[in-house]
Amino acid sequence: MELLYRSTRSTQEAVTASKAILKGLSDDGGLFVPEKIPALGCSLKELADMSYQEAAYEVMKQYLTDFTEEELKDCIAKAYDEKFDTDVIAPMAEVERTYYLELFHGKTIAFKDMALSILPHLMITSAKKNHVEKEIVILTATSGDTGKAALAGFADVPGTRIIVFYPKNGVSPIQEKQMVTQKGDNTLVVGIHGNFDDAQTGVKKLFGDRELAERMAEKGFQFSSANSINIGRLVPQIVYYVYAYAKLLKEEQIAEGEKINVVVPTGNFGNILAAFYAKNMGLPIAKLICASNENKVLYDFFSTGCYDRNREFVLTTSPSMDILISSNLERLIYRLTGEDYAKNAELMRQLQENGVYHISEEMKKELEDFYGNFATEEESASQIKKIYEDTGYVMDTHTAVASAVYEKYKKDTGDMTKTVIASTASPFKFTRSVMCAIDSKYENMEDFKLVDELSRISNVPVPAAIEEIRTAPVRHQCQCGKEEMKKVVEDFLGL
Ligand SMILES: *Cc1c(COP(=O)(O)O)cnc(C)c1O
């Protein structure tokens, strides 16, 4: 049976999965949601014996119903291969009776790789299926992690080009080095003189530029988006929750049907939404624990039912969670309204115009699957130090937020249900913050010295992603003012 996708904001015609992947966002500004969340097609016992790739097929085929078996298996095989530094793709580390699901074994050592290594293949397959002959141009603004993961995913994928804009002085030195050393003739990386919001606004403008779109079409190009609201990113993220449960079952850590909790360090609400979808597919998950850093919009929302972005933006040591508008939350809100697109559209209008909305008491009741809390900078840092000193395990700053929030959850509720924490980045990606959390003596050590020191104290080899940039030549030196972004795109495409 074919599963179609609808917008969260109107009754526009439902589209196939491949069309939703190509479009990214619905024309009315809403997000695509499946008409119904499908059930798992096989038992957890059967899943327990599957490889990551096999489990990925079982989960994704329920959503991408207009892909043939061959097409989907081909996308999966191309994505989850030697690019990952372990055959199991998403291994789990047991630390103090809690399971850290490590989602950072891909090319750029952050969890964005889990979806961005398959998205390019889903996208070109979707283009073929819909007879799109044009070359697809991915346009992205990044505050660090997404840009590199998208570059790595799309580099040298035939039929695509990718342009990434980042704030020249707004990303970490390692993040910048990762991007400007990117290989691939179809890639372009540009530092803009402005902040992340300027980059984001500029990209949105380009997406909406009709005149540019027409000239691009004449030359055989069309824009597409690798943004985290694309269902081509959401669906692959459901896989690892199912896989993690199946592995716990296989290793007899849990009994069949036993419920587990899941803790997710959250920014745009994509990763935790995938866990919510997994639960609704029938995966035995009890609580979905949403962990925020000091940008605690979501914690406030879960406690009061009021979403309010009107507040100061805090720069933290977990920058990928420094977000005041969690775009993917709209999919949950839509569900809380009982899939009432008009109600949802009205709330999103209030968010757009006033930066705030309130949900009804009735909707609030539906939130009981979730628990929200936040961790301060000090709490996260001391969690890194404590876990390292007690166990030798070193986690990154984002995972530390989740781990610290989980401690609060246990204190609050006394709930000792077995728990999986989504570990979203390698500590090597945020070496300086991690090492300084462990000991202030590292404050004056040089970046790559710190990397070696981290490897020594954690007993983990330096990941290839970091070794590469030590010596890799800079390939991208393009910079521009925020008014010049269009010109840069035109030059790259030869318009
Ligand atoms: C993107 C990111 C997050 C937040 O994930 P969302 O899906 O946006 O909630 C957390 N940690 C890291 C390291 C990330 O890169």
Would you state the pLDDT for residue 267?
Answer: 92
**Partners of 94 in the β-ladder:** 99
Would you state the pLDDT for residue 208?
Answer: 84
Question: Is the CB of residue 423 less than 8 Å from the CB of residue 395?
Answer: yes
What is the pTM assigned to this prediction? 0.95
Q: Which atom of ligand 1 is nearest to the CA of 268?
A: 8
Would you state the pLDDT for residue 84?
Answer: 97
Cβ(147) – ligand 1 distance below 6 Å: no
Q: Which is the catalytic residue, given 107, 112, 129, 247? A: 112
Would you state the pLDDT for residue 227?
Answer: 84
Burial of 368 (0-12, 13-18, 19+ CB in 10 A): exposed
Count Cβ atoms below 10 Å from residue 189 Cβ, excluding itself.
Answer: 24
DSSP-derived secondary structure letter, 35: S
Q: Rounded to whole angstroms, how far apart are CA atoms 195 and 462?
A: 31
Nearest to 324 by CA among 203, 213, 200, 439: 200
Would you state the pLDDT for residue 132?
Answer: 93
Would you state the pLDDT for residue 315?
Answer: 87
Would you state the pLDDT for residue 169?
Answer: 84
Cβ(142) – ligand 1 distance below 6 Å: no
What domains can you pick out in the chain, each with its CATH number? 92-109+232-460 (3.40.50.1100)
Q: Rounded to whole angstroms, how far apart are CA atoms 13 and 20?
A: 11
Q: Rounded to whole angstroms, how far apart are CA atoms 131 and 126?
A: 9
Pairing mode, if any, of strands 260-265 and 419-423? parallel
Cβ(429) – ligand 1 distance below 6 Å: no
Would you state the pLDDT for residue 491?
Answer: 96
The token pair at 157 is: 């994928």
Half-sphere exposure of 343 (CA within 13 A, CB side): 14
Nearest to 103 by CA among 240, 227, 288, 238: 240
Measured by CA distance, the residue closest to atom 1 of ligand 1 is: 320
Q: Which atom of ligand 1 is nearest to the CA of 269?
A: 9
112 is catalytic: yes
Profile the chain (495 residues) by mean pLDDT over runs of 10 residues.
94 93 90 96 96 98 98 98 97 98 96 96 95 94 86 93 92 87 96 87 88 95 89 97 98 97 96 98 98 97 96 90 90 96 96 95 94 98 98 98 98 98 96 96 93 97 92 94 96 95
Question: Is the CB of residue 138 less than 8 Å from the CB of residue 162?
Answer: yes
Cβ(143) – ligand 1 distance below 6 Å: no
